[in-house]
Amino acid sequence: MRFFGPLLLFQCVFSDDPVGGQPDRWANFTSDYEFYATKSVVNLERNTGTEFLKFYRRLNDQRPGADPDQIMSVRKNGIYTTAKWDFAGNKVHFLYDGFECDTKQLESFKGSPIFIPEFQNPETSVDYEFVPLLEVLMSPDFVTDVKKVEPEPDLEPTSVRGKVAWQWSARLKYPDKAASYALDVFYSIPTETSVSIPLRVVQYIDEEATAVLQVYEIFRVRLETPPAEVFLLPDLTVCQTSHTPEIPQMSAKAWHSKLEVKDYIYGAGGFESPVYDMSIHYDYDKKLARYTLDTAGFADLINAYGLTEMEFIHDFSSDLGYAVDRVTGNCSIYSLDPSFGDDPASDLWYHGGKISMHSPEWFWQIPDPNEYWYKATFQKQSM
Q: Quick one: pLDDT band at residue 53, thresholds 50, 70, 90?
A: very high
Q: Above pLDDT 90, what percent of the chain?
A: 33
Tell me, yes or no, whether 198 and 285 share the same domain. no
* Same domain flag for 122 and 261: no
Asked if residue 63 and residue 185 are part of one domain, the reply reads yes
Residues 187 and 307 in one domain: no
Higher-confidence residue: 158 or 55? 55
Please answer whether residues 188 and 165 qualify as being in contact, where contact means their C-beta atoms are separated by less than 8 angstroms.
yes
Tell me the C-alpha distance between 150 and 372, whole Å. 86
Burial class (CB in 10 A: 0-12, 13-18, 19+), 56: buried
Domain shared by 141 and 201, yes or no: yes
For residues 278 and 268, the answer to whether their CB atoms sit within 8 Å is: no
State the pairing for strand pair 276-283/271-272. unpaired
Confidence check: pLDDT of 11 > 50: no
Q: Is residue 57 part of a domain?
A: yes
Classify residue 296: in a domain, yes or no: yes
Per-residue pLDDT of 293-352, as tens digits, reads: 888 888 888 888 888 889 899 888 888 888 888 877 777 788 887 666 555 567 777 777
Q: For residues 1-20, b (16+ Cβ closer than 10 Å) or e, as one string?
A: bebeeebeeeeeeeeeebee
The SS3 assignment for 338 reads: helix
Do residues 345 and 211 both lie within one domain? no
For the chain, give the longest Cα–Cα distance: 98
220-225 mean pLDDT: 94
Q: What is the pLDDT of residues 95-109, one digit of tens each?
A: 998 888 888 888 888
Strands 159-160 and 180-188: unpaired
Question: Considering its fold, how many domains does the chain have in total?
Answer: 2
Query: Does residue 202 share a domain with residue 72?
Result: yes
Q: What is the pLDDT of residue 7?
A: 37
Q: Could you tell me if 174 and 307 lie in one domain?
A: no
Least confident of 77-81, 91-95, 360-364: 360-364
Candidate from 85-94, 141-150, 362-371 with smallest mean pLDDT = 362-371
Helix (H, G, I), strand (E, B) or coil at 156: coil
Report which secondary-structure segment, H or E, holds 135.
helix 133-137
Burial of 91 (0-12, 13-18, 19+ CB in 10 A): buried
Alpha-carbon dihedral angle through residues 77, 82, 119, 205, given to the nearest 10 degrees: 70
Residue 265 is predicted with a pLDDT of: 66
**Cβ atoms 170, 146 nearer than 8 A:** yes
Q: What is the pLDDT of residue 345?
A: 61
Convert the pLDDT of each residue in 319-334 to its tens digit. Answer: 888 888 887 777 778 8
Q: What is the CATH number of the domain that holds 152?
A: 2.50.20
Mean pLDDT for the stretch of residues 258-266: 70
**H-helix segments, 213-325:** 299-305
Domain that holds residue 298: 255-363
